Amino acid sequence: MLDLKTKPTSVAGPLGPVTVGDLPSSSTTYWTARRKAEVLAAIDGGLMDFEEACERYRLSREELAAWRRMLDRAGVPGLRITNRQRLRDQYIFE
């Protein structure tokens, strides 16, 4: 019988395939756009679920959801903090 809950070994990431070993360390404190995109790709591809990512990286659900919104709006460059602030201000004050 096929087990549909088996996690994949790799998923498509922002710069190529991403495996669990390629993901940022759980002690990461400096988040680049690429690292954020890799975590989101891992969630989308089934390497980890949303709650697991929040716990592993000590992120709030709101912060991870904000990464998702920025990626959806502006792609990987939108995950840069300076772009995030600029775009946030643009959407809030329009």
Q: Is the pLDDT of residue 74 over 60?
A: yes
- Identify whether 87 is part of a domain: yes
Total tally of structural domains belonging to the chain: 1
Confirm if 10 and 41 have CB atoms less than 8 A apart: no
d(CA 26, CA 4): 27
Q: What is the CA angle 82-54-48, rounded to 5?
A: 110
Confirm if 67 and 44 have CB atoms less than 8 A apart: no
Which CATH number covers residue 58?
1.10.10.10
Residue-wise pLDDT tens digits, 44-53: 999 999 999 9
Which range of residues forms the domain containing residue 73?
31-93
Q: Considering only CA atoms, which of 87, 6, 7, 45 is closest in space to residue 37?
A: 45
Name the pLDDT band for 7 (thresholds 50, 70, 90).
confident
Name the pLDDT band for 92 (thresholds 50, 70, 90).
low
pLDDT score at 45 = 95
